Structure 1
Amino acid sequence: MEKQPINQDQTIEERNPNEPTVSKKRKWSSYFKEFFMLFLAISLGFFVENQREAYVENKSAEVLAQSMLEDLERDRKALQEGIRFMEEKDQNMDKFLRMLRAPGEDWDTVAFYKSMTMVFSTFPFSPTDGTYSQMKSSGTLRYFDQRLVNKMNAYDNQLKKTIFRDELVEKGEWELVPIAATLINFEVTGELRFNKPITKETYIKIRDQDTLDLFINKVVTVRTMMGRSLQEYRAQLLLSEDLIKEIKKKYDS
């Protein structure tokens, strides 16, 4: 009987029936390892980048916190000086109003001029808010925790109220000027304001009781608005001290 030729492929297949399955498993295992290594490399890259960004943000926050601390220290000093100034001015205005309500023949002309000089003296508070404004515009406020950001925002909101009240006091003083200009010599108040000796004529011209009453009312208005401004200064000072304490607690080494 004649032998049939052996098919080589068939023989190999019969000899190794499981070889294709094993090959596929090895390929999938290799793919999985490559995918896992790629995933691990990407994850590690993200982790390193996040750590780097966190480090940069923390260092930037430290620098910004120190800068804002310096701003707040300047503000605190200015607010303390402003409060002392307004308290002294309020006492002088009280004496001045008592003088105005007394008989005119009892007035001391020089004391009158000195009191008027104090009425027109101002202590404009100019906040040092450059660091906060920079952080707000650049988005770097996000470097700080929300509690501290809330305190910064509260301080900034109070600043707006404090400055607004200052502007109202100044407006009230300017409204007083036209009446005061008919009663006294403003050149003398200018000399007194700059601690110069009086060289100009001193006079007081109260035409009638209505003029005096209007003048008193204007002075009272300025004093009342200044009292409200003083409250804002005190509130601002409390916020500045609280914010300074918080920043030092977290960032000051």
Structure 2
Amino acid sequence: MEENQVSENEKDLSNKEVISSLKKKNWKSYFKEFFMLFLAISLGFFVENQREAYVENKSAKVLAQSMLEDLEQDKKALHEGIRFMEEKDQNMDKFLRMLHAPGADWDTVAFYKSMTMVFSTFPFSPTDGTYSQMKSSGTLRYFDQRLVNQMNAYDNQLKKTVFRDELVEKAEWELVPLAATLINFEVTGELRFNKPITKETYIKIRDEDTLDLFINKVVTVRTMMGRSLQEYKVLLLLNGDLIQELKDEYRLNYADNP
């Protein structure tokens, strides 16, 4: 009886050892499977991230090239706009000096040519299609934040420049009603399109108050244009910096416009 009990105890002990051993093996097996699964998932995430990073980098380079071309177009337009406004400012200075001289010394044709110049504008239209597309599609995230900040700063200055242009145009339109009472606008139209003068040229400034009002409105146009010229120059500096950053960051080549 005692031998049977001892035998049973030994069996129980043996079974416990077997079960314990199996548990250890199962735990190691589970851990191994878990580790392999974790490794596979991590590797999958890594590969996917690398693939997305590659696609984003390729897309960013394409977008950078497109934006570079837009910026080069802006650069050309800004240079032309600055030349136009500096020349216009010089002509307006001559016009104002003539207005301050005795009326008997005025050259009627020169007066009309000056008025034609006052109403001449430079139609700056920014080329911002690529930036607008990136902003609306969320692809700005493909770029380094420092570069994005530069793009945003350029866009903000561009909006200020366009706004200043609108103010100049508004000042010119406010001068129109008064100018229409003083001169023949058909003549200025012929001069503007380089046609020979076929209409009657006259100047109807008969009192000092009208002359002072006219001078003040011309000065207003010139002052607003001077502020606009400053915005153009700031935008041109930002344009150059952004062009250089894009070229350096993505090793882009694009012939600079003269």
TM-score with structure 1 setting the length: 0.94
Of 8-17 and 125-134, more deviation after overlay is shown by 8-17
Aligned to 2:182: 183
C-alpha displacement of 1:8: 9.3
Q: Following TM superposition, by how much is the alpha carbon of 1:125 offset from its aligned partner in structure 2, in angstroms?
A: 1.4
Deviation at 1:223, TM superposition (A): 0.4
What residue in structure 1 maps to residue 91 of structure 2? 92
Partner of 1:149: 148
Partner of 1:54: 53
Instruction: Identify the residue that residue 231 of structure 1 maps to in structure 2.
Output: 230
What is the CA deviation profile of residues 177-218 of structure 1, one whole-angstrom value per residue up to 9, with x for unaligned ones?
A: 011101111011111111111111111111211111110110
Q: State the alpha-carbon separation in 2 of the partners of residues 104 and 76 from structure 1.
A: 42
The RMSD of aligned alpha carbons is 1.9
Report the equivalent of 2:217: 218
| Counterpart amino acid of residue 79 in structure 1 | L
Distance, in Å, in 2 between the alignment partners of 1:192 and 1:182 is: 18
Question: Which residue in 2 is equivalent to 1:207?
Answer: 206
For 1:223 and 1:23, locate their aligned partners in 2 and report how far apart those are by CA, in whole Å: 94
- The 1:39/1:211 distance shift into structure 2, 3 A limit, reads same
Query: How big is the shift at 1:160?
Result: 1.4
Match of 2:109 in 1: 110
Mean alpha-carbon deviation: is it higher for 232-241 or for 3-12? 3-12
Query: Could you tell me how far apart the structure 2 residues matched to 1:3 and 1:107 are?
Result: 142
Separation in 1, partners of 2:16, 2:176: 111
Distance of aligned partners of 1:15 and 1:47 in 2 relative to their CA distance in 1, 3 Å threshold: closer
- CA drift of 1:124 comes to 2.4
- The residue number in structure 1 matching 2:172 is 173
**Contact 1:66-1:252 within 8 A present in 2 as well:** no
Deviation for aligned residue 1:15:
5.4
Aligned equivalents of 1:171, 1:33: Cα separation in 2: 77
2:193 maps to 194
Cross-structure match for 1:38: 37
- Cα offset for 1:143? 0.8
Change (3 A) 1:207 1:20: same
CA distance in 2, matches of 1:63, 1:51: 18
Q: Distance in 1 between matches of 2:14 and 2:242?
A: 83
Query: Runs of at least 4 residues of structure 1 off by over 6 A?
Result: 2-11
Measure, in 2, the Cα distance between the counterparts of 1:64 and 1:15: 72
- CA separation in 2, counterparts of 1:3 and 1:118? 127
Q: How many Å separate the matches in 2 of 1:209 and 1:3?
A: 139
Alignment of 1:114-133 (within 5 A): 114-133=113-132
Superposed displacement of residue 11, structure 1: 6.6
**2:15 is equivalent to residue 19 of structure 1:** no
> Residues 76 and 240 of structure 1 are in contact (CA less than 8 Å); yes or no, is this contact kept in structure 2?
yes
Aligned length: 252
> What's 2:255 paired with?
none
Tell me how far 1:140 sits from its aligned partner: 1.0
Tell me by how many angstroms 1:74 deviates.
0.4
- Structure 2 residue 159 is matched with structure 1 residue 160: yes
| CA displacement at 1:43 relative to structure 2 | 0.4
Amino acid at match of 1:69: L
The 2-side partners of 1:228 and 1:4 are apart by: 113
Contact kept, 8 Å, 1:76 with 1:237, in 2: the verdict is yes
SS of the equivalent of 2:152 reads: helix
For 2:50, the aligned partner's letter is Q
Cα pair distance change 1:13/1:109, threshold 3 Å: same
Percent of aligned positions with the same letter in both sequences?
82
Q: What are the superposed Cα offsets for residues 100-132 of structure 1, whole Å, 9 maximum, x if unpaired? A: 111111111111111100000000211111111
Following TM superposition, by how much is the alpha carbon of 1:13 offset from its aligned partner in structure 2, in angstroms? Answer: 4.0
